[in-house]
Amino acid sequence: MERACSHCHAVVAPETKADWCPACGGAIIELACQATSVQPPSPPPEVDHRGILLPRRHALGGIITPQ
């Protein structure tokens, strides 16, 4: 299960104990993780000072953003 904001869709880190989004104040909702095939190990996700997971980085250094 992933915790995300219902308003801005920011993904909140699991260790963050909040009911409201630290970025916009929206309600935090539980989302089911998408089942995918076996993926190669990746580095742990980066968390900013508010407890929000930052976007993953591409192998070449760019940020992977959803479209």
Cβ within 8 Å of residue 57, ≥6 positions away: 63, 64
Q: Do residues 30 and 39 touch, judged by C-beta distance below 8 A?
A: no
In a domain, 52, yes or no: yes
In a domain, 4, yes or no: yes
In a domain, 29, yes or no: yes
Query: From the CB of residue 4, how many other CB atoms can be counted at a distance below 10 Å?
Result: 18
Cβ within 8 Å of residue 54, ≥6 positions away: 45, 46, 47, 48
In a domain, 25, yes or no: yes
What's the pLDDT score for residue 64?
A: 61
What's the pLDDT score for residue 28?
A: 92
In a domain, 40, yes or no: no
Owning domain of residue 26: 1-34+46-67
Count of structural domains, the chain: 1
Q: Do residues 44 and 65 touch, judged by C-beta distance below 8 A?
A: no
Q: Average pLDDT of each block of 10 consecutive residues along the chain (67 residues)?
A: 87 86 90 66 79 74 62
What's the pLDDT score for residue 63?
A: 63
Enter the pTM of the model. 0.57
